[in-house]
Structure formats: structure tokens, C-alpha cells
Chain A
Amino acid sequence: MPEPGISAADILVCRVCGALSRRPLSPDPHDHLYCQRCGGRIRIGRGNSIEVTWALLIAAAILYIPANLLPVMSVYMLGSGQPDTIISGAWHLVAAGQWPLALLIFVASIVVPLLKLLALIFLLLGMQHGSSRHPRERMRLYKMTEYIGRWSMVDVFVVAILIALVQFGNLARIEANTGTLCFASVVVLTMLAAHTLDEHLIWDTAYRQRRGRQKHG
């Protein structure tokens, strides 16, 4: 099609009165759009998805530091014991020869959240700069990110269950430390970020860029 006309992507539908409106070409994400006919609020995609995602991601990134530096769990056996961070816990497991378990913890608790953060940042940057390259691959990345993110909660659940189970007074006792809170926050925030990220935007920008090129061409 040499001269493409208007496409569905250019039309906004008012969810109140059903009126169709033309989509502004590059609206500021902060601006609120309203229907001309009924005055109802019109949202593009999931609202200002990029901004919210950024906010959540930044919060997650901040908390990722204490989550890894602070101890997550203290195991006291026979009166002795000490708080362990995620890394030191994994290291203890390695020292005890349980390296598959250590690898699992290392991957699930350190690598996965970090990769998730990086992936989301990568996707966001791509959206903001209107990158149109490999949208399909980026979409796959997004799907993976969203799917895998929940598994990081395993750690938090393990801690929660152990705290509830192992309370034998002086014999053995497990306590949660601040790190767990931070870690849980990181996981929850990245999950929320993955959720608020509007995957349409991957395609949106790709499409609009193509369309912009067509118009200028």
C-alpha cells in the first residue's frame, strides 16, 4: 500500500459513549485525554505504563541492594547461629557440598531478579526511544520475564514456612531478617513492573515509526 490510510491503531475508543476519536500523534504521557462527546476519560493502552513501570523498577533496583546485603534469615541451632544473607546462605550450601541447591538459590534469588530488572529496563528503554528492531524477540523476552518473575517468590515462601515450622526454642530456631522484606519487595515490585509494562508499546512504536516514515516519505 503506497499510501496507507488510517488504521485501528490510530483510533481511540471512548469506553463510555463509544465515540471514536483520532489518536494524537505523540501525546505527553502525563496529559489526560477526554472524549469530546461525553467527556469520559480515554486511556491509551495501560495509561502511562512507562512511567509507572520506571517508578516500580527504580524502587525494585533500590531495594535489590539491601535485599542482597542484609541477612534474610537467621538459623539458631543449640543457641548458636547467625544471620545469613542470600549469598552467604548459598555459600554455606556450597561448603556443605549441596551445590545444586546452592545453584538453585543463587539463580532464583540473585540472577533471576537481576535479569528481570535488566530485561525490563531494556524493554522500557526500547519503548522510550522508539526502537523498532526485533519486536518479536523483545515480545518473547517480555513474556519470559513476566512468567519467570513469580518463581523468585519461592525464597520468600521458604523463609516464611521455615519460620513457622522451626520454632523449637533453644534447640533450633529460625528468624526472618530485614533482607527478606527487601527481597520480597523486590520480587513484588518487579512483578508489578512486568505487569504494568504495556507490551503493546513494543508494537506501537514499531508501527508508529513505520507509519511516520511513510508519512514523511
Chain B
Amino acid sequence: MADMETQQEQENTLAADELQDVVIRQHRRPSPVWLIPLAAALFGIWLLVQFWLTQGETITVPFPEAEGIQPGVTEVRYKAVSVGKVRKVTLDENLNPLVTLVLSKEISQSLDCSGQFWVVRPRVRGTEISGLGTLFSGTYIGMTPKQVSNNPAAETTSSLCYQVLEDPPRIKPARPGREYILETDSMGSLDVGSSIFYKQLEVGEVIDYRLVEDSGRIELTVFINEPFYRFINANTRFWNASGFDLRVDTTGAEFHMESLSTLIAGGIAFETPEDESSDRAISEDGTHFVLYRNYAGSRERHYANRLYYTLYFEGSLRGLAEHAPVEYQGIRVGQVEKVKLYYDQDSNDLRTPVLISIEPERFADDIDLERAPTLIREMVEKGLRAQLRSGSMLTDMLYVALIFDQDAEKGSITSGQFYDIFPVDNQPAENVAVAMSELSLELQETVQHVNRFLEQGKLDQTVGNVNRVLEETRSTMSKAGATLSDAQQLIRQLDEKTVPGLSSDISRVAERLDTQTLPMLTRDLNRVAERLDTQTLPQLSRNLNVLTERLDKQTLPMLTRDVSRVAERLDTQTLPQLSRNLNVLTERLDKETLPQLTDNMTRITGTVNNALQRTTTSAEKVTGAVGRISGDFAKTSEELNKTLVRLQNTMGHLDRLLARNSPTQYQLDQMMQEVTLMSRSLRTLAETLQKQPESVLRGKRDQ
């Protein structure tokens, strides 16, 4: 057994000994397989470097509100290019949202303190609908690395030095064109995006506005598209074409509207007068222009040089408005700047200075501001005077006319408290009111004449009586020559007899007054009133619903007031006066002698005739004036009627356009509904995809 084991062992050993050794060649180079981790390491390093290079800044921007801003999701975009992302949204110590943004390398290199940020959300405004894309894509933050506009809405946050805007700033449109700056006093209904019109073509838009702090004026930046800025040169006038322009002034009524859209969104129009623009150069980028208040304003030549004078008129300044023209023989040379009440403390006097401006360049182009005052001074020495005149029978507006009055008293320009005082000619203005007051004055005079006439007319009537009385008196006198007491008795008797007679006379006179004179007057007045009633008023009331109000308030009440005043006078003054006069007369009759009476009588009849003639002429004047007025009314109302009909048409169109159930509205409604539906279904799709990405493969599954 031991042998067996030994032998086996020996075999084994033998076998081991028989084996050859392998040849070992040293090969100490590392295996090429190490290239793989090397490549991986290089790749990793490359990624790291790339990450390092593209890593931008992390900044914190305070937003007024963080609606729609989601950390990790909301993008930061510059010109629609994603340049960063919101990392987190926190609150600062004042509990205002602070948004931390991670920006890409490129953008953070050019970002400085004037960088602006704003939140882009869907916006719907009168003229623009923007950010609709964010309905689907979600809110994002827009930015510019550098300030691009002087948007007044910009709030500078000094602590963090970036600006957060309420609205996206206006970036100059990329299309070709030029920018101009318009200066104006008020924005009106203009806004960024308001259109610019040239011959009713939309040729540009307002891209920015800015309040100039020094002057308080507003500078609008407008952008005019490529071919159209060629029509702009130094002569170009811009005017605010917002809404429509309905003017009623001394020159009549005028209606002007640029485009229907300006009714809603406002707009600016411009025009270049052709006669002057033949060889003018196209205005450069950034040229300043004045934005006129309206079309009429733009049509007037703009004169920079003005001379200011104060006028002191006597009497009412009613109807003299600011900007009323100052004319010389019907040609405008200036305007009324201000009409005010001034209390002079020294003299305890109320005065009504009228400040006018005269533009001397309107007289001649080469008159400059230095020469102009002396020229006007000389003209005043020659008799130039200011006068108030009525511009239109209809509107009752006054204007200031400069006239040469050769017979005028010597006058000159005197220096006043604020401005030089220009001498005036106080002839009453010929307007309806004054005409009416003149008329009433004349009527009054007439009434007085009539009074006097009646005073005497009663004499006329009582001549017989008087004769009788005097005869009786004479006989009585002769009879009573003897005794004074008899005479006295007789006189008493006379008194007793005369008084009833006189009273019957009075009644007869009154009767006559009732039956003849008053009917004539009332007939005339009736005719006036009838004309007013039957012709003018219905026409006016029919045509001028708006304007008649004014007329109602002014002219007619005045007329009726005057008429009633006349009637009142007749009632309250004439009759009592009459009776008083009669009393006086009887007394005088008692006292005075016959020759004087007869003498008076002839004079009186003459006066009466005169008075009657005057009455008729003034009545004719009244009828003439009223006829003229009604003619004026008819013409103007016809014009106005046409204008209003047109306006009504336009408004009707607009109404139909804007009405709650108009097709446009309906279609817009439908569109919005469909857009809503679409966006909802798109959102559902997006949500489904987000929640169940596998549904792309497997189809939708109900949860």
C-alpha cells in the first residue's frame, strides 16, 4: 500500500518534471486598452472645459410680481433666443419677489447695469396683441443687456442696478425707415403703436414717448417706413389725427377725420405742402418736428416770433375766446392769447385785459423781432386800432380786428404792467346780442317817444275838451272876475267836471293805445316771433339738436328776454308813467296856457310821426336782421346737417363695427373662442404628453 502510494507520487512528480517551461518574454509596455480610459478622461475634461466656458453669470433681479415665473422652467430670452433660465424665486426683506437668473456666457459678457428685464405675458390692447405665444409656451422673461429706450415706465432699482419694466421696451423696428421726434404738449389718445398716416396711408408708427423734464413737453419718437420718409422735409407738418375733429368757430363748421382706426387707437398724420417743398432735402434721422393739435393747426404757418400786447376794451367780452384770430382786413396776423379779469389794487378797479399776440412775420417775411415793435408803433401812430368784431352771426364769437382809423384820436402804444398796451377803438361789436340790445334800446326810445306822444296825443284828443274847458274857464274867469271866491268855486266845479271827462279821455287814450299802437307793435313783434317760430326754430330744432341748445341758451332767451323786457316796460313803465304823465299833464293843463300847448302840439305831431317812422324802420330792421339770421341759420344748418349726416353715417359704421352683436365682434368672439378651444386642447395634449410620455408609444390611457 505504501509502495503504491510512493509510485503514484513518483508518477506525478515525473509528470511534473516532464513539463517544459514556457518562454517568457518581458513585455512591460502598458496595454493599449488604457487608451479607453484616457479617451474617457479627455472627453470628460473637454466637457468640463466647455461647461466652464459656457457658464454665465448668476444675477438676482427684483420683479414687482412673479406671476408665471417658475424656477428651473422659465426662460430668459433676448430677441427670442434663450439666454438663460430662472434658477429660483425668493422673497426679499420687503417681501418682494427676487428672481435669480442664470444667464449664458455670451449675454452676461455684454450685460451691464442698464440691462432691462420684463415679463412677457399675453397682452391684448387696442392696437396690438402680443405675447400670444406665451399662451402655449408659458411666460418667459425678456431682457436686453443694454438700455435701448428711455421708456418713462422704467423703474431704476438702484440696489441691484438692473431695470425691471412693466412692458417690453420698444426696440427700433428692423425694417428700413427713419425715426423722427415730434414735440407736443399732451399725449392725447396717442400711445406707442399709434399709426402715422400720410394721405390716409399707414406709413409708420409711434415707437416711443418721453417726457422732457425741463420743458414739460412730450417727445414722441415715430418711425416712418422706407419709401414714405422721402415725403418728409423741413416743411412737413405733423398733426394729431386722433378721433375726429369737429370745429365750429368764427369761420363756420368743419369736420375732419383721418381714419376709422384713429378713432380707437389714435394716430398722427402728416402733410408736406407741395408748393414749398419742391427743392427741400429729405429730413435726417432724428429731426425734431412740432406735433400740431389738429389739422387746422398744422395748416397755419408756424411763426416763431410773436409780439404780445394787452388790449383794454370797454364793455362785454362775451364771445371772445382764446385763440380767436386777430385779423387785419380779414387776414390773420395773430391770435388772442388770454382773456382774463384783473383786479387793480391801486385803483380798486376791475379790468379785463385781453392779451393778444401778433406775428409780425405775417406782414412780411423779412421783419424780424427787433424791427417789428417799432413798425407796429409807427402804424399805431398812423391810426392802427384794435376793435372787437363779431365773427359770425351764428356762433356769436368775437374776434379782434386791426383797423386803420384815420379819424382816431391820437394814440400810441403805452407800456403796461405786463405787456405794452395797444390802443383800441371801442365801437360796439355787431353781433346778435348787441343788435338785439340796440334794438331793445331803440324800442325803449320808441316807447319813450310813444309815451311822449301819448302825453301829447291825449292833448290832441282833449284839444276840444280843453278848448271847451278854456272857454268855460274864460267865461268863468270873466264871470268870476268879480269875486275870487266865486272863481274859486268855479274852479272847484271845473275840477269836478274835468276829472270825469279826463278819466273818460284816459280810457279812450288807453283804448286807442290798446287798439292801434300796441297791436301794431305786437304785430311787428308777432311777425318776428312768428318767423322765429315757424321758420327758424323748427329748422334749427330739426337740424341742430346740439347747436340749438346753445342757441336756445343764448340767442332766443336774449330775444325773449328783450321782448319781454319791452313788454314789461310797456306794462310796468309806460302805463304807470302814462297815468303819472296824465296827472302831471292835468296839473300842467291847469297851470299852463293854450298857445304853448298848441305850439307843442304841432311839434308833438312831428315827433310822433318821426317816432312812428322810426318804429317802423326799426321793425323793418328787426325783420331784416332776423331774416338774415334765419338765412344764415338755414345755410349753416344745411351744411351742418350734411356734416352731421356724414358723421352719423361714420358713427353708424363704427357702431356696427363695435356693437356688441356686430359681425366683426361676433367673428372676433368666434375666433377667440376657437383660439381658446385650440389652446385648451393643445394644453391638454401637452399635459398628457408631459404626464404620460409613453402615450406617444402606447396611446392614451385613462387614469
- Dominant secondary structure of chain A at its interface with chain B: mixed
Is A79 part of the binding interface, using a Cβ–Cβ cutoff of 8 Å? yes
Q: Could you tell me the distance between the alpha carbons of A82 and B37 in the complex, rounded to whole angstroms?
A: 31
Inter-chain contact A56/B33, CB cutoff 8 Å: yes
Per the 8 Å Cβ criterion, residues 672-703 of B in contact with A are 682, 685-686, 689-691, 693, 696-697
Inter-chain contact B25/A75, CB cutoff 8 Å: no
Q: Could you tell me the distance between the alpha carbons of A52 and B30 in the complex, rounded to whole angstroms?
A: 10
Instruction: Find the B residue at minimum CB distance from A3.
Output: B9
Q: Could you tell me the distance between the alpha carbons of A32 and B29 in the complex, rounded to whole angstroms?
A: 11
A108-150 interface bits toward B, Cβ cutoff 8 Å, 1 = contact, 0 = none? 0000000000000000000000000000000000000000000
Inter-chain contact B40/A185, CB cutoff 8 Å: yes
Inter-chain contact A165/B697, CB cutoff 8 Å: yes
A3-30 interface bits toward B, Cβ cutoff 8 Å, 1 = contact, 0 = none? 1011000111000000111111001101
B577-608 interface bits toward A, Cβ cutoff 8 Å, 1 = contact, 0 = none? 00000000000000000000000000000000
List residues of chain B with CB within 8 A of the CB of A87: none
B9-53 interface bits toward A, Cβ cutoff 8 Å, 1 = contact, 0 = none? 100110110011111111111110110110111011001000000
Inter-chain contact B690/A31, CB cutoff 8 Å: no
Inter-chain contact A20/B40, CB cutoff 8 Å: no
Inter-chain contact A66/B47, CB cutoff 8 Å: yes
Inter-chain contact A6/B24, CB cutoff 8 Å: no
Is A103 part of the binding interface, using a Cβ–Cβ cutoff of 8 Å? no
Instruction: Find the A residue at minimum CB distance from B683.
Output: A78
Is B177 part of the binding interface, using a Cβ–Cβ cutoff of 8 Å? no
Q: Could you tell me the distance between the alpha carbons of A11 and B21 in the complex, rounded to whole angstroms?
A: 10
List residues of chain A with CB within 8 A of the CB of B72: 82
Inter-chain contact A189/B30, CB cutoff 8 Å: no
List residues of chain B with CB within 8 A of the CB of A48: 31
Inter-chain contact B22/A33, CB cutoff 8 Å: yes
Q: Could you tell me the distance between the alpha carbons of A91 and B25 in the complex, rounded to whole angstroms?
A: 55
Our pick among B19, B26, B29 for the contact of A6 (Cβ within 8 Å) is B19
Is A166 part of the binding interface, using a Cβ–Cβ cutoff of 8 Å? yes
The stretch of A35-43, A200-208, A209-217 in contact with B is A35-43
Is B666 part of the binding interface, using a Cβ–Cβ cutoff of 8 Å? no
Is A161 part of the binding interface, using a Cβ–Cβ cutoff of 8 Å? yes
Contact A22-B22, Cβ < 8 Å, known A58-B37, A82-B85: yes
Instruction: Find the B residue at minimum CB distance from A70.
Output: B47
Is B137 part of the binding interface, using a Cβ–Cβ cutoff of 8 Å? yes
Q: Could you tell me the distance between the alpha carbons of A162 and B73 in the complex, rounded to whole angstroms?
A: 22
Our pick among B15, B24, B686, B696 for the contact of A33 (Cβ within 8 Å) is B24
Is B133 part of the binding interface, using a Cβ–Cβ cutoff of 8 Å? yes
Inter-chain contact B136/A80, CB cutoff 8 Å: yes
List residues of chain B with CB within 8 A of the CB of A78: 136-137, 682, 686
- CB proximity of B142 to chain A, nearest CB, Å: 15
Q: How large is the interface on B (under 10, 10 to 19, 20 to 34, 35 or more residues)?
A: 35 or more
Our pick among B22, B40, B47 for the contact of A35 (Cβ within 8 Å) is B22
Q: Could you tell me the distance between the alpha carbons of A20 and B22 in the complex, rounded to whole angstroms?
A: 9
Is B428 part of the binding interface, using a Cβ–Cβ cutoff of 8 Å? no
Instruction: Find the B residue at minimum CB distance from A23.
Output: B22
Interface centre among A28, A63, A77 (most CB of B within 10 A): A77
Is A154 part of the binding interface, using a Cβ–Cβ cutoff of 8 Å? no
Inter-chain contact B696/A162, CB cutoff 8 Å: yes
Inter-chain contact A30/B30, CB cutoff 8 Å: yes
List residues of chain B with CB within 8 A of the CB of A75: 689, 693
Instruction: Find the B residue at minimum CB distance from A51.
Output: B31
List residues of chain A with CB within 8 A of the CB of B411: none
Inter-chain contact B31/A34, CB cutoff 8 Å: no
Is A94 part of the binding interface, using a Cβ–Cβ cutoff of 8 Å? no
Instruction: Find the B residue at minimum CB distance from A73.
Output: B693
Contact A22-B16, Cβ < 8 Å, known A31-B24, A63-B43, A77-B689: yes
- CB proximity of A204 to chain B, nearest CB, Å: 16
Inter-chain contact A21/B33, CB cutoff 8 Å: no
List residues of chain A with CB within 8 A of the CB of B457: none
List residues of chain A with CB within 8 A of the CB of B12: 5-6
Is B319 part of the binding interface, using a Cβ–Cβ cutoff of 8 Å? no
Is B138 part of the binding interface, using a Cβ–Cβ cutoff of 8 Å? yes
Inter-chain contact B33/A52, CB cutoff 8 Å: yes
Our pick among A27, A79, A178 for the contact of B133 (Cβ within 8 Å) is A79
- Beyond contacts A28-B28, A65-B44, A161-B697: 12 other A-B pairs, Cβ-Cβ < 8 A, are A5-B15, A20-B20, A31-B26, A32-B27, A34-B24, A37-B20, A62-B37, A62-B41, A66-B44, A82-B85, A172-B686, A189-B36
Could you list which residues of chain A lie within 8 angstroms of chain B, going by C-beta atoms? Answer: 3, 5-6, 10-12, 19-24, 27-28, 30-37, 39, 42, 48, 51-52, 55-56, 58-60, 62-63, 65-66, 70, 75, 77-80, 82, 96, 98, 161-162, 165-166, 171-172, 178, 182, 185, 189
Could you list which residues of chain B lie within 8 angstroms of chain A, going by C-beta atoms? Answer: 9, 12-13, 15-16, 19-31, 33-34, 36-37, 39-41, 43-44, 47, 72-73, 75, 85, 133, 136-138, 682, 685-686, 689-691, 693, 696-697
